[in-house]
Amino acid sequence: MNPLFKKPVYVSKPLLPPLKDYFNRLQSIWDSEWLTNNGEQHQEFEKRLADYLEVPYVSLFSNGTTALTVAYKSLHLTGEVITTPFTFPATPYSLSWIGLKPVFCDIDLKTMNIDANRIESLITKETSAILGVHVFGVPCEVKKIESIAKKYNLKVIYDAAHAFGVKVNGKPIGSFGDISMMSLHATKLFHTAEGGALLFKSEESKKRADLIKNFGIETEDLVSEVGINGKMSELQAALGLTVLEQVKGELKRRETLTKVYRNLLRGIKGIEFIEEIEGVQLNHQYFPIRINEKVFGRSRDYVYSKLRENNVYARRYFYPLCSNFPFYKKSDSSRSELKAAETVSEQTLILPLYGELTEKDIDMICNIIIREKNGAN
């Protein structure tokens, strides 16, 4: 069979700025002979990112996973942390690596985020925090989570890996909770190849995270705590500064392409997707759809394999569910019922979305899907 697409179409493609712009910054790095450890590019990038994201303080990291771990350390978390199983493995792993226990809470079927109404029943005397994930850039129920945290004196951390530039009622996503983490991996709307950032409200929190990510070294004479190497290099920071120039255009293009997807798939029975949400400025990081086999006539996995036959590499984020990883499944982490998360994990498919796609590409991708429904009837 001849695939419909001659070249592979992946779920995402890194936003690549003009190479000459990056070269100019590389030249400055060469001239300075300073490659990492809070150099000029790093300092400029931290300021520019804080401005762009409208948060007071940013700390840059080598990747998002290390950034999360440092966030927990800086908040002195202990014992159990309530989180979602419908996420990338990095979310619970970052807890497990420093001896914290993830406790999985079921999700809301509509937003696919942690179900705030179920959090309270999982709180024990061991609980020290709630870790929400704004999955696919859709914000968690930040107000409800805040009031639960207040009532039980818990910290709130947001894994905002997918939520670069998202706003809720005009407020930047990084302004909620004690600390938010953004992944700056190549597959993200905005990236530094590998990278991550923590966003804070106070300078004191930033200083603490900065200390931990640099081995806990305060001065040449004083090492005050067990730190780690989580630093971002000058090469990554320079790439970030260059990509930042392009991100608004990419966002606009993705918004247009999302509308094309929605128009083509709206009304197809058995397929659901996220429409505009009142008061929320989305970032179109991903275009997830949910396929209900009973109604659509074909399973998510069947559609996934048909897309593959045609060179379209859609992804089953997030499957398998983290709570089903063998080491979590047999542990106390997966102690509650996770029905909604099971359903969503079995139904979700992420379709390709990035600025370089054309309207025609999206039309062809949707045709492969719709053809399967018709074939099934």
Binding residues for ligand T4K, rule: CB under 6 A, are 10-14, 63-65, 87-88, 90-91, 133, 159, 161-162, 183, 185-187, 196, 313, 317
Q: Mark residue 99 as left, alpha or beta (left: phi above 0; alpha: psi -120 to 50; beta: remaining).
A: left
| Residue 26 φ/ψ, nearest 5 degrees | -60, -35
- Alpha helices by DSSP H, 97-183: 116-119, 142-152
CB of 373 to ligand T4K, least distance (A): 25
Q: Choose between 194 and 296: whose C-beta lies nearer to ligand T4K.
A: 194
Beta strands 127-133; 101-104: pairing state: unpaired
Which of these, 267, 270, 316, 276, lies nearest to 291 by C-alpha position? 270
CB-nearer residue toward ligand T4K: 130 or 161 = 161
Query: At its nearest, how many Å lie between ligand T4K and the CB of residue 269?
Result: 29
- Distance, CA of 341 to CA of 109 (rounded, Å): 8
Report, in Å, the least distance between residue 184 CB and ligand T4K. 7
Task: Find all residues with CB under 8 Å of 126, minimum gap 6, and list them.
Answer: 78, 79, 80, 101
Report in angstroms how near the CB of residue 136 gets to ligand T4K at its nearest: 9
Which residue number, 140 or 373, has a Cβ lying nearer to ligand T4K?
140
Phi, psi dihedral angles at 236 (to 5 degrees): -70, -45
Contact 136, 84 (CB under 8 A): no
To ligand T4K, the closest distance from the beta carbon of 235 in angstroms equals 15
State which residue has the least CB distance to ligand T4K.
64
Choice between 128 and 183, CB closer to ligand T4K: 183
Closer Cβ to ligand T4K, 192 or 205, answer by number: 192
User: Hey, what are 281's tokens?
Assistant: 């400025």
Nearer to ligand T4K, 189 or 265 (CB): 189
Site of tokens 């792993």? 93
Place of tokens 């102690």: 335
Q: Beta strands of 189-264 (E only): which ranges?
A: 196-200, 217-219, 222-223
Taking a C-beta distance cutoff of 8 angstroms, is the pair 161, 168 a contact? no
Q: Minimum distance between the CB of residue 150 and ligand T4K, rounded to whole angstroms?
A: 25
Q: Which amino acid is present at 274?
A: I
Give the span between the Cα atoms of 341 and 343, in whole angstroms: 5
* Nearest CB to ligand T4K, comparing residues 11 and 29: 11
Which is nearer to ligand T4K, 11 or 209 (by Cβ)?
A: 11
DSSP code string of 313-334: E-B-TT-S-GGGSHHHHTSGGG
